[in-house]
A and B are shown apart, each in its own frame.
Chain A
Amino acid sequence: MRIEQRTHRPRALFLLAPVLAVLAALAISGGLIALTGASVLDAYGHILAGALGTRLAITETLTRATPLILTGLAAAVAFRARLWNIGGEGQFFIGAIAVAAVGAELTAGLPAALAIPVLLVVGALGGMVLMVTALGLRLRFNVDEVVTTLLLNFVAILFVSMMIEGPFKDPMAFGWPQSVPVADNATLPRLIERSRLHVGLVIAIALAVAIYLLQARTVFGMRSKAAGFNAPAAAFAGVPLGRTLMMVACLSGGLAGLAGAVQVLGVRGYVTTDLSPGFGYSGIVIAMLANLNPIGVVAAAVFAAVMFIGADGMSRAVGIPSYIADVTVALSLLTMLVALFFTQYRIRR
């Protein structure tokens, strides 16, 4: 058996790769479910029902998908330019705490139409600051951004923890470490009555389309891709590498920060250290699963949300820990990497 590079890469293969990857991941985690003695089909049936079976379930799944789309986009735009932003989680939290800092009092008197956009921008700026710091270290001192963005996650979460134990602590929360809630005028409007689904979903999908167009149709998109694919060639063609990467970093950090802001304004209303069950890290998986395509990110985020929400219901019904969702989503990253390999290579005897 030999592995050869493909001279031709059919388009269908790129569309098929994530589907096959997901199926392979489901098959492998099916093996784990079978090990517990439960029926695999039964368990997956419960996951589907739990995530999509009722109107409430669907809205919950989409609510969960919203921040995942944003963190997925954050990773996808950065990775496309070979800027390895592993810091979505930290940027998410800085975005959230920035909103909490401003949203409780400063914007309280403003009308909603003004307060909400201002707070979303504040959240995005928070994430941006963190990512730009990491890129600045790379451009100035050649420090690998994989290390800095990853480690800044812990710095960011500890910083948030400090703030909600200290200056931002809500005195009405019976001593729980959480921030003062944002004012009511800044809450994101609901999309559907009697659900938690909010306009954040619309914002996230609109941004996915916008970023797709940005990458496919604009000079900036072309230059950022060039910088990622082949930096020496981009430099030869006159692409300003530092400036382009800086803009990509702002976009990426801003999207992750926006995810934090949206989660605070749309769902929680205040910040705790468990605001994110790993949205930033899941965003990396989602971006890879989408093959860095912004529209694909939306689909991949919905898949991850189905697994996460469905697994909760499934664990109640079948008695398998809901961590199986984490296992499946993580496995899908590995199977996607394998699938991507096979879009470029093929096996020959």
Chain B
Amino acid sequence: MAEPVLRLSGISKRFGPVIANEAISLELRRGELLALLGENGAGKTTLMSILFGHYTADAGHIEVEGRPLPPGRPRAAIDAGIGMVHQHFSLADNLTVLENVMTGSEPVWRLRSNRGPARRKLMAIAERFGLRVDPGRRVGDLSVGEQQRVEILKALYNDARILILDEPTAVLTGREAETLYATLRMMAQEGLSLIFISHKLREVMAAADRIVVLRGGRSVAERAPADTSRSDLAELMVGRRIARPQRAPATPGAPVVEARGVSARHAGGTDLHAIDFTLHAGETLGIVGVAGNGQTALARLANGLLAPYRGRLTILGRAVRRPDVGALVRAGVGRIPEDRTREGVIGEFALWENAVLERIDLARFSRRGIVNRAAARRFTQEIIDAFDVRGGGPDHRASLLSGGNMQKLILGRNMIEGPRLLIAAQPTRGLDEGAIAAIHTRLLEARAAGAAVLLISEDLDEVIGLADRIHAIAGGRMSPPVAAEAADARRLGLMMAGDWDEERAADAH
């Protein structure tokens, strides 16, 4: 067995009354790919922040290659050969790849820059690990996957021998994630030691040499992928057995949304070209696709933020001719935005303000322009009780909620009145297993209550598990539907690549 390059012993850290890490010990061996698995809030990121010197541990110590690492100094961590790739990149969009890689390691006051040697070093590293990049391109023009590659290169350029990646696939599409893990494998074979943080069971099982499970700030288990299963890991991670809910057969009713040859322009995204689909009451229609293939435009259409320029889109019996959020909300459309923190909630607003903002025009919540705060607070309290939103009462700020509780608040405000149509765009992105199961249950309940559910998701398991019929979206065009029973990951994968078989799909109608 290879010698340990990194040893964390008895690391503890509290934030006020909250225990983030409690006596965590961890070893990383040379050439190893270690997964740190845990739910949101399990203490994974805190532990890695302590390792990298962003936080100082209350107790415990860290050794790198046998030498103690001074706490609380990122510079010392870098010098010791630790590199970190954050979930949110720290790159300057307006600089080139090479300039980004060089910043930080270059002295600030220098008349001539070292571009020639730096470029050669960068290219050599890129070659060795198969990380293709064009050093002269502006980072702002790169895709998310490419930007992540630049982050990794930057760490390697600083001579990192230990690389830490915080939720590296959270922002990636399925294919990009596979490429990333292939790269990480290769880096491990080249003698680097890597830790990646994740809460995705499938990835952890597929990629890691060894898995350490954190729960509630403690290290609760260590497993090799060969000796464990996804359900075993899920149980360790959550502390109890959880299962995603099962779907009952659908009883579709009248059409709720009909799109016939709908084309729409989406500034800064992918346009939609002549798409057709029908969504009935009491069924869930799943839309799968690789990110950036028109899902955003589709969600904006259904949410009343965009109108088609060609074709006919009918929602709840009314033709959509111009964007009108208020009309849809009044008609009983529940809207779950694809980006919770950007579009779903306003952090500075109280929960009650977030609960009623999109329906403030209703007579219950305002009269002659004056907000009925008592009614709004009652409505919010009902949501908090019915949807188990934890993290504060109606008057607390929304930014104090965790991602899962934010999503429950969003679900609650849309579902508590029994919507006729529910638009769910990436409803479980970034959430942990417990929250995912809760949200799936709610979506199935809405369908059972007769709502039409439009589920736009990149998570194939989610779509196969929830949808009755499935379309793929690729390059702004939409495939014919397939019945969920006829769909498997392989077939959906082909459809997502834009390769759909018109005849075979016809049997789904």
Contacts and interface: CB of A to CB of B under 8 A. Distances in A.
Interface in A222-243: 222-223, 225-226, 229-230, 232-239
Interface stretch (A29-37, A126-134, A200-208, A212-220): A212-220
Interface residues of B, number: 35
Interface stretch (B125-133, B135-143, B355-363): B355-363
Interface string B169-213: 000000000000000000000000000000000000000000000
A194 interface: no
A7 B370 contact: no
B263 to A, nearest CB: 22
- Give the size category of A's interface with B: 20 to 34
B10 interface: no
B343 interface: yes
Contacts of B339: 232
B25 interface: no
B249 interface: no
Interface in B368-408: 369-371, 373, 397, 400
Given A7-B400, A229-B348, A230-B347, A238 B342 contact: no
A7 B337 CA distance: 25
Contacts of A349: 56
Contacts of B118: none
A229 to B, nearest CB: 5
Interface in B27-64: 55-56
A8 B397 CA distance: 10
Nearest to B356: A222
Interface in B305-354: 305, 324-326, 329, 335, 337, 339, 342-349, 353
B347 A229 contact: yes
A125 to B, nearest CB: 22
Contact of B343 (A219, A222, A229, A236): A236
Contacts of A235: 305, 343
Q: Is the interface of A mostly helix, strand, loop or mixed?
A: helix
B400 A218 contact: no
Interface string B266-289: 000000000000000000000000
Nearest to A1: B72
Contacts of B373: 217
Nearest to B345: A233
B346 A234 contact: yes
Interface string B113-129: 00000000000000000
A218 B371 contact: yes
B343 A238 contact: no
A217 B16 contact: no
A222 B371 contact: yes
B426 interface: no
A2 interface: yes
Contacts of B305: 235-236
B21 interface: no
A46 B137 CA distance: 63
B304 A238 contact: yes
Contacts of A2: 55-56, 72
B400 A217 contact: no
Contacts of B342: 230, 232-233
B358 A218 contact: no
B370 A236 contact: no
B370 A218 contact: yes
B293 interface: no
A219 B344 CA distance: 19
Nearest to A237: B358
A225 B371 CA distance: 14
Contacts of A239: 357
B15 interface: yes
Nearest to B335: A236
* Residue among A8, A235, A238 having the largest count of chain B Cβ atoms under 10 Å: A238
B371 A232 contact: no
A12 to B, nearest CB: 16
26 contacts: A2-B56, A7-B15, A217-B371, A218-B371, A219-B370, A219-B371, A220-B369, A222-B353, A222-B357, A225-B349, A230-B342, A232-B339, A233-B343, A233-B345, A233-B346, A234-B357, A235-B343, A236-B305, A236-B335, A236-B337, A236-B343, A236-B344, A236-B358, A237-B325, A237-B357, A237-B358
Interface of B: 15-16, 55-56, 72, 303-305, 324-326, 329, 335, 337, 339, 342-349, 353, 357-358, 360-361, 366, 369-371, 373, 397, 400
Given A7-B16, A220-B369, A238-B358, 6 more contacts: A219-B370, A222-B360, A225-B348, A229-B346, A236-B335, A239-B357
* Nearest 3 interchain pairs by C-beta: A238-B325, A237-B358, A236-B343
